[in-house]
Amino acid sequence: MTGDAALPRDNGELVFQAPWEGRAFGIAVAMNEDGVYDWTEFRDRLVDEIAEAERGGPPSSYYERWLASIERLAVERGFITADELDARTAEYASGERDDEG
Amino acid sequence: MSKDHGGDHHPEPEPYPALRTKALESLLVEKGLVSSDVIDELVRSYEEDIGPLNGAKVVARAWVNESYRLRLLEDGTDAIAELGFGGAEGAEIVVLENTPQVHNVVVCTLCSCYPWPVLGLPPTWYKSAAYRSRTVMEPRSVLREFGLELGEKVEVRVWDSTADIRYLVLPERPEGSEAMSESELAGLATRDSMIGVQKAKSPATVG
């Protein structure tokens, strides 16, 4: 099973709707498998993000909540700072940094 | 090259979550906490290799091999590892056997915990607020919406997944499947039957 034909699963549903969803998924799982953090640390934050969204927070997709959870984990555990994440995001947004180039 | 669809400039700005994810990945890579190659491989394996077919192989083995069935019910994680599946998040996998008297159905009420090694990633409905809240409160009507009508005397057990324990339902082997091979049987064990919102497919509906 390779190539485009393999993308839709036999259940008819794409695993990831956009490439970034797969990256966000992979970041969380890869760091956990490497022993960087314990899965419950991520799961607890995902539970919070989902509960907050369902209490009437801004509309968000599942993987937006996933991303928010892994971001919070990375900042709260001191892996990165919120400021450097904001700055790096701005660099990608402006085109100042572009990995695909 | 058309100037509307030319390749020199970005055709449209990337959505914010995509930019945010790139930023997060690049910082974590710089700090040596994650490798892009490992992420590539994880995404590839969840898109191509890890899915409900793994669970179907486990179920088919349990249907044809009594000692495997007993091992599977005794220690799901170990018995599943015998077929080469396992790993994700270090969670334990507990296997729940459906019988004519007891029907098991699995949910994660708080988020989306799911037995990845045997079923892949969960379908959208499994993550929905409606499924998560209603399955506990009114399982029979939820199952009815999936087309599964259970007799009054059948006990319905709902299992709430956690970070540490994930559940896989072992559906009843369908009538009329006695002559089928193990690999043919795997074709009857659907994803939804292993979550417990359906029964396994009847051989009459296959092929």
Asked if the C-beta of B26 comes within 8 angstroms of chain A's C-beta atoms, the answer is: yes
Asked if B191 and A11 count as a contact pair (C-beta separation under 8 A), the reply is: yes
Mutate to test the interface with A, among B12, B14, B20, B50 (most CBs of A within 10 A): B20
Nearest CA to CA, how far is A37 from chain B (Å)? Answer: 10
- B144-174 pLDDT tens trace: 999 999 999 999 999 999 888 999 999 999 9
- B46-76 pLDDT tens trace: 998 899 999 999 999 999 999 999 999 999 9
Domain count within chain A: 1
Q: Does residue A42 belong to any structural domain of this protein?
A: yes
**DSSP result, A55-101:** TT-S---HHHHHHHHHHHHHHHTTSS-HHHHHHHHHHHHHTSS-TT-
B108 is an active site residue: yes
Q: Does residue A81 belong to any structural domain of this protein?
A: yes
Domain B52-205, architecture per CATH: Alpha-Beta Complex (3.90)
Helix (H, G, I), strand (E, B) or coil at B170: strand
Q: Where are the domains of chain B?
A: 16-48, 52-205
Nearest to B58 by CA among B36, B45, B76: B76
B67 is an active site residue: no
Q: Does residue A90 belong to any structural domain of this protein?
A: yes
Catalytic residue among B36, B45, B112, B133: B112
For B175, phi and psi rounded to 5 degrees? -65, 145
Q: Does residue A83 belong to any structural domain of this protein?
A: yes
Crossing angle (nearest 10°) for helices A62-76 and A82-94: 130
- A52-61 pLDDT tens trace: 999 988 889 9
Catalytic residue among B26, B35, B45, B111: B111
Taking CB atoms and an 8 Å limit, are A26 and B90 in contact across chains? no
Asked if B19 and A92 count as a contact pair (C-beta separation under 8 A), the reply is: yes
Q: Does residue A3 belong to any structural domain of this protein?
A: no
Q: Which residues of A touch B28 (CB under 8 A)?
A: 27, 31, 74, 79-80
Q: Does residue A8 belong to any structural domain of this protein?
A: no
CB-CB: which of B39, B111, B113 is closest to A30? Answer: B39
Taking CB atoms and an 8 Å limit, are A62 and B112 in contact across chains? yes
CATH number of the domain within which A52 lies: 1.10.472.20
Q: Which residues of B124-152 are buried (b: 16+ CB within 10 A; e: fewer)?
A: eebbeeebbeebeeebeebbeeeebeeee
Taking only the tens of pLDDT, chain B with its 207 residues reads 444 444 555 567 889 999 999 999 999 999 999 999 999 999 999 998 899 999 999 999 999 999 999 999 999 999 999 999 986 566 899 999 999 999 999 999 999 999 999 999 999 999 999 999 999 999 999 999 999 999 999 999 999 998 889 999 999 999 999 999 999 999 999 999 999 999 999 998 765
Q: Does residue A72 belong to any structural domain of this protein?
A: yes
Q: Which residues of B10-42 are buried (b: 16+ CB within 10 A; e: fewer)?
A: eeeebeebbbbbbbbbbbbeeeebbebebbeeb
